[in-house]
Structure 1
Amino acid sequence: MIFVVIGLAAGVTLWSLGQTLPLAMVAYIVIGVVIFVTAVGMVRDLMSGHWGLDILAVIAMIATLAVGEYVAGLIIALMLTGGEALETLAARRASRELDTLLNRAPVYAQRVDPHTDEVDRIPIADVVIGDELLVRSTEVLPVDGTLISARAVIDESSVTGEPLPVTYQAGDALLSGTINNTETFTMRADKAAHDSHYASIVRLVEGAVESRAPMVRLADRYAVPFTIVSLLIAGLAWYLSGDPVRFAEVLVVATPCPLLIAAPVAFMGGMSSAAKLNVIIKDGGALEVLARVRTAAFDKTGTLTQGRPDVVEIRPITRSTDEILRLAAAAEQYSVHVFAGPIVAHAVEKQLQLPQVTAAEEFATNGVQATLADDSVVPVGKPAFIEEVAGAFARTPLAAGETAVYVSVDSDFAGVIVVSDPLRSHASETIARLRETGVEQIVMVTGDVAPTAESIAADAGITTVHAETTPQSKVDIVVALRPRPVMMVGDGINDAPVLAAADVGVAIAGRGATAASESASAVITSDDVSRVADVVQVSHMTVKIALQSIWMGIIISVGLMLVAAFGYLPAVAGALLQEIVDLVAILSALRALRAYRSVTRFREAGQPLRHRADFTPRV
């Protein structure tokens, strides 16, 4: 770009002095270099089947050289190279929130020597599980761990979205990337740096920053018709006037930089807005699909429900309540299901001695089966899973938000553990907001039993429920859903396949990254299901802003072409006007940076969206 600026400055100086021949030499050198570089990239695009908009700029520069409009040609060259620089600058501003997450990543940790109690500063990569770490006031927690000190106040706003500091007691789990908001404390490292929560977020952000927004392809859809219209207007102007200069004057204002710049800038702005709402969108393609979602599917446990279940009752059949809990907890130690932890914790709280387990196997979405030291087999899980060994039995009645975990010993149906996992506070509001943004069908797809699933769905405002599904049947259901595109929202390991199978997957990472985060297109880093509606609304607004910016560039360019076709717009003036159009297009696209403000305003006011059209792009 500096080379072109120097050439333009020299060209303007020679033009003002009336030095035509030196001006022509400078123009041919500078414009020739720009044409060559642009043409090389254009040929590569054409060979890959991609018709770009740069062809108009190349033709325009060639035309200005042919008719002696050297200064106008230099301005077009500056517009192309300067447009790229402006795009980079605008995108850098738009991606500021994403970059902030990257820059905050902890680099060092303060490790306490267990023998001397001395504190050593070590690279975060050298932290191993079990290390005792010192975290000073205002420092970022380097890894996930457990609080050793009696008390700590942690600012989690940048990770979970929780606006107020959270107080923790000794033994509580702490998240990496959060900030010590109190005096110095010590913690024990439970994960290595690369496995910690914040590291997983950083990996997602790096992918988001490096992605190329497919909205550029949407702008390229206008390449062929815009090129044809521009050449047609320029050709007619030349033919009707008999003046080849008129051809160049039209093409000078036909250069399509607004179409090339506006879309990617708007998309980076939208991804930045989503980041402010604690949602990491991995690439611009996911943002575009989110704006067109017409069907949404939700998992139940941990997604629509709070994901922090408690044991509320034990209903014995052939064994005592303590025996049922003791046996179930022994098996659930080997399960990753969200109900396993509460059952084990309840047994520990009651100080029950768990039997020795010699083998255990988990059956995804069905249950877990443990073999004890006395060779007895203990299946724990869904009723259908237990019936395979114990035979048919009556289902236990449940209240809203309750789930039954059935327990058997060999072929003897032992009893039921009732677990309660209530609906999230913002779940029904989220469903309503999605409908306001144009989502036509919302369904629940869960591995839980039908009575529990239907009860939670009714409270959330969902009428279609697919219960007692397996990971494979979830995929089959979501693939068959209509209308498309389909968004799937989940949080667990078992949700990873269906998140990947949906047109766009949204994972609620909450207080820990899972396989769901890796397979999803967007990841909510806070434990807040309402962010699903937030990111859909931000996506709608971003696509709308991008399309507005594209059409604004087209309309202004066509208007200027018509003015130039009648001979009222000299080439130099037209080239300068086109630079202004570029700047206006960028400023228009940068409005996407403020999309999160509109969403936040509606949420805080508790108001419904006033006009669905405000969030529905016209593609």
Structure 2
Amino acid sequence: MTRIPVFALRYPTVAVTLMVALLGLVFWAFGATLAVQWLFSGYGLVIALLEFIGMVRQLFRGAFGVDLLAIVAIVATVLVGEYVATLLIVLMLSGGAALEDFAAGRAARELDALLKRAPQIAHRLNPASGGAASGVTDVPATAVVVGDLLLVRPAEIVPVDGRLQSENAAFDESSLTGESLPVERIVGDRVLSGSINGQIAATMVATSTAANSQYQHIIALVEEASTSKAPVVRLADRYAVPFTVGSLALAGFAWALSGDPVRFAEVLVVATPCPLLLAAPVAFMGGMSRAARNGIIVKGAGVLEALSRARTVVFDKTGTLTYGTPAISEVRPEPGFTADELLTLAASAEQYSSHVLAASVLEAAQVRGLALHTADSASEAATFGVEARFGAGVVRVGKLSFINDGTADATATHLAGGELAMYIAVDGRFAGSIVASDRVRDNAGQTIADLARLGVRDNLMLTGDARATAQHVARQVGIVHVRADCLPSDKVEAVRALTGRPVIMVGDGVNDAPVLAVADVGIAMGAKGSTAASESADVVILLDDISRTVRAVRIGKDTVRVALQSIWLGIILSVVLMIVAAFGVIPATAGAISQEVVDLVTILNALRAIGGRRDAAAARGAAVGTVPAPSEAIGNADRPVRPVVDRPV
């Protein structure tokens, strides 16, 4: 019962109209039909006056009042004595907002669910007597204040900016700098919010609040996503002018042909423009909801319209076309060792290391099915390497400077662009190196091909990396045009110079924020992306999956198609009803009811933009036979692998 007062407060005109209808039924039951006519007609004229005032205000703001037909229909039915039709038109007009809110509420469920799923927890260490920390309390990230001592667990995102309290730790800052290498931090160093902790837990002191945290900005994007109005919605407003003129002309023709003014009212009753008012907004809200359900936050409805017309796509390289986290790509043993032997020794030692690279070495050994040795003792030199003793033998793994300490013949290995190396010594003898590189995403080439099939045929890579590395990646994924050694300002000028518009720009780091802002549609890879990129972008992909770019374009095209179909469906049905009513077949009361049916049909059709069945079908197709999960460059290519990072040398 509590829902009834809430509904009445939110939609007072609807509530009053229903009360007037009930009161009219009471009068009719007692035979007071004249009172019913005066009640319905008077109430209808009051509503018509209020709507006329609102329409005039819209005209002063430069918008045509599409409710003109409804106002004229109310007045006409009052003048010809069709008072029941008068009340039905009022109910239809006032109930349109309620119907749209209902549809939009259904379409926005995934947006609300996404908001609730966003991680917003920080692990606060409770101060104990003597200045030490004792116990952990999970608090909202927004509750963190400057000076709080926080625990950041392995692979977690740093919730706020701070200073490292642990002796040392490694953080993945690729989303902030565009560089794929992890950074080593020691006690007192600055730790950036949005960076990802390595394989060991770290403690830090907060130096700022969570106001600039990644997830806070995603929430802001969600809230902003439902407020804009797309160009196609304004196009629906423009349809109102010819629709209104045509409807009035047809109604006048029917009156002149029949000589009966009731015919004029009967035509206008079925000509109310609710389909124009409802179809596009509901469709675009459904499209944004569908995008959110697919891990894509769209800032506004206009973005979906631009995506549907896109002709050019521009990609950043690091973290966008590549994983942004180097993985082991090659094992280079020295004479006397095989690749498997070298990897076995390195992994056997690294299993005692807390360094972020240790996990990737162990993963590579596991992929090859290598059996590791158990060390008698092991010690780690923080940020440099690890030494492990196996019986009488000693294995050292780490930076070249760490290996050279006690190994005379260690030499740097040749590295191509984007490659790094770690070195191994066995019993004071240089045994070889293991090379890591930033791998191209497994589905990057397929993504570019799929975009071309959707009409986004022109492509370009903009990167700050060297040309040789950029060209190598471009050849792998099928990109034709490359600009390397770019500063952020160079990227901006390059996008502004493109002629095939609209232009989509896909990036992930702070250095991409300016170019994301100037592109027609900026898409930020926000799974590990920076807050600056997410702020300046029009679309944020919450999953670390570049193929979601294709899905965003497809959702944009589907949404615009459904919106236009819904608009024309409403117009066509209304025109058919008007033509039938012009011949006197549909009484005014029946016409008002039939127009309400047209509104419902239009809304239901527009709700197809939510796309549940299409996404389910796409998911089934993906499960049957598409690209497998990313895997290591060595070993079993079907084995999924978590992201890997390398230590700088």
TM-score, with structure 2 as normaliser? 0.68
Number of residue pairs the alignment of both structures matches: 492
Greater Cα shift, 187-196 or 580-589:
187-196
Distance 2:580 2:273 in 1: 17
2: distance between equivalents of 1:422 and 1:351?
21
Say whether 1:84 aligns with 2:88: no
Separation in structure 1 between the aligned mates of residue 150 and residue 537 of structure 2, nearest angstrom: 33
Residue 479 of structure 1: aligned partner:
496
Match of 2:606 in 1: 589
Match of 1:32 among 22, 29, 45: 45
* Cα pair distance change 1:427/1:575, threshold 3 Å: same
Q: Residues 540-619 of structure 1 correspond to what in structure 2 (within 5 A)?
A: 540-593=557-610, 594=612, 595-606=614-625
Instruction: Report whether the alignment pairs 1:70 with 2:83.
Output: yes
* 3-state SS of 1:572 partner: helix
CA displacement at 1:452 relative to structure 2: 2.0
Which residue in the other structure is 1:469 paired with? 486
Deviation of 1:33 (Å): 3.3
1:493 aligned onto 2:496: no
CA contact (8 A) 2:312 2:458 kept: yes
Counterparts of 1:92-491 in structure 2 under 5 Å? 92-104=105-117, 111-115=124-128, 117=134, 124-128=141-145, 131=148, 143=159, 192-309=209-326, 348-349=384-385, 350=398, 402=418, 420-491=437-508
Residue 189 of structure 1 deviates from its aligned partner by 7.2
Indicate if the aligned counterparts of 2:229 and 2:301 stay in contact, CA closer than 8 A: yes
Matched residue of 1:291: which SS? helix
Q: Amino acid of the residue matched to residue 89 of structure 2?
A: I
- Tell me how far apart the structure 2 counterparts of residues 543 and 223 of structure 1 sit (CA, whole Å): 19
**What is the aligned counterpart of 2:554 among 537, 540, 547?**
537
User: Take 1:282 and 1:596, find their aligned partners in 2: how far apart are those partners?
Assistant: 21
- Secondary structure of 2:574's counterpart equals helix
For the residues of structure 1 that align with 2:545 and 2:70, how far apart are their CA atoms?
Answer: 48
Offset of residue 516 of structure 1: 1.2
Deviates more, 1:34-43 or 1:547-556: 34-43
The answer to whether the 8 A contact 2:508-2:524 is kept is yes
Cα distance change of structure 1 residues 564 and 303 upon mapping to structure 2, 3 Å threshold:
same
2:297 aligned counterpart, secondary structure? strand
CA distance in 2: counterparts of 1:552 and 1:15, whole angstroms: 37
> In structure 2, the residue corresponding to 1:451 is in which secondary structure?
helix
Which structure 2 residue ranges, 5 or more long, are not aligned? Answer: 1-13, 167-186, 331-359, 361-380, 386-397, 403-412, 422-434, 628-649
Q: How big is each residue's C-alpha offset from its partner over 1:14-42, in whole Å with a ceiling of 9 and x where there is no partner?
A: 56776443123222332233223322332
- The question of whether the paired residues in 2 share the 8 Å contact of 1:8 and 1:75 is answered with no
Q: Distance in 2 between matches of 1:581 and 1:175?
A: 52
- Residue aligned with 1:499, SS: helix
Amino acid at match of 1:80: L
- Deviations 1:295-338, CA, capped at 9 Å, x for gaps: 1111112111111147989xxxxxxxxxxxxxxxxxxxxxxxxx
Preserved CA contact (<8 Å) 1:447 1:467? yes
> How far has the Cα of 1:487 moved from its partner?
1.1
CA contact (8 A) 1:491 1:514 kept: no
SS in 1 for 2:226: helix
What are structure 1's unaligned runs of at least 5 residues?
A: 150-170, 179-184, 314-341, 355-395, 406-417, 609-619
Q: Deviations over 1:19-77 (max 9, x none)?
A: 44312322233223322332233222211211232111111111111211111111111
- Per the alignment, in what secondary structure is the counterpart of residue 283 of structure 2? helix
Contact 2:510–2:530 (8 Å) recurs in 1: no
Name the SS of the counterpart of 1:221 in structure 2: helix
Identical pairs, percent: 52
For 2:118 and 2:498, how far apart are their aligned partners in 1?
40
Q: State the distance in 2 between where 1:141 and 1:6 align.
A: 55
Q: CA offset at residue 460 of structure 1?
A: 1.0
- Compute the displacement of 1:122 (Å): 5.8
Higher mean C-alpha displacement, 474-483 vs 191-200? 191-200
Letter in structure 2 aligned against 1:217? R
- Could you list the per-position Cα deviations for residues 76-122 of structure 1 after superposition, in whole angstroms to 9, with x for gaps in the alignment? 11111111001111101101111123334577767442215366676
Aligned with 1:113: secondary structure? strand
Q: Is the 1:175–1:511 Cα contact (8 Å) retained in structure 2?
A: no
Distance 1:32 1:464 in 2: 65
Comparing 102-111 with 233-242, which one deviates more in the overlay? 102-111
- Matched AA of 1:282: K
Query: 1:489 & 1:5 partners in 2: Cα distance?
Result: 52
**Partner Cα separation in structure 2 for residue 148 and residue 555 of structure 1:** 69
2:61 equivalent among 39, 43, 48: 48
Give the secondary-structure state (helix, strand or coil) at the position aligned to 2:314: strand
Moved more, 121-130 or 467-476: 121-130
Q: CA separation of 1:235/1:513 partners in 2, compared to 1, >3 Å: closer, same or farther? A: same
Alpha-carbon deviation of 1:480?
2.4
Counterpart secondary structure, 1:301 = helix
Deviations 1:463-518 (A, max 9, x none): 12223333223222212223211111111212111111111111111224331111
The residue identity in structure 2 corresponding to 1:588 is N
SS at match of 2:319: coil
**Greater RCO, 1 or 2 (C-alpha within 8 Å, sep 6+):** 2
From the superposition, tell whether residues 79 and 474 of structure 1 become closer, same or farther in structure 2 (CA, over 3 Å). same
Cα offset, 1:203, TM superposition: 1.3
Compute the displacement of 1:209 (Å). 3.0
Q: Is the 8 A contact 2:217 2:531 kept in 1?
A: no
Residues 606 and 537 (structure 1), Cα distance of their counterparts in 2 relative to 1, 3 Å cut: farther
Q: Which residue does 1:165 correspond to in 2?
A: none
Cα offset for 1:398? 7.6
Amino acid at match of 1:555: I
Aligned-pair Cα RMSD in Å: 3.8
**How much has 1:605 moved relative to structure 2?**
4.0
Deviations 1:580-600 (A, max 9, x none): 111111111111112533543
- Shift, 1:403, TM fit: 6.8
Local SS of the residue matching 2:271 = coil
Structure 1 CA distance for aligned equivalents of residues 382 and 56 of structure 2 = 67
Question: Is the CA contact 2:218–2:534 (under 8 Å) kept in the aligned structure 1?
Answer: no
How far apart, in 2, do the equivalents of 1:605 and 1:80 lie? 48
Greater C-alpha radius of gyration: 2
* Counterpart residue number, 1:615: none
Aligned counterparts of 1:216 and 1:571: Cα–Cα separation in 2: 30
Q: Secondary structure at the match of 1:83?
A: helix
Q: 2-side partners of 1:220 and 1:236: how far apart?
A: 25
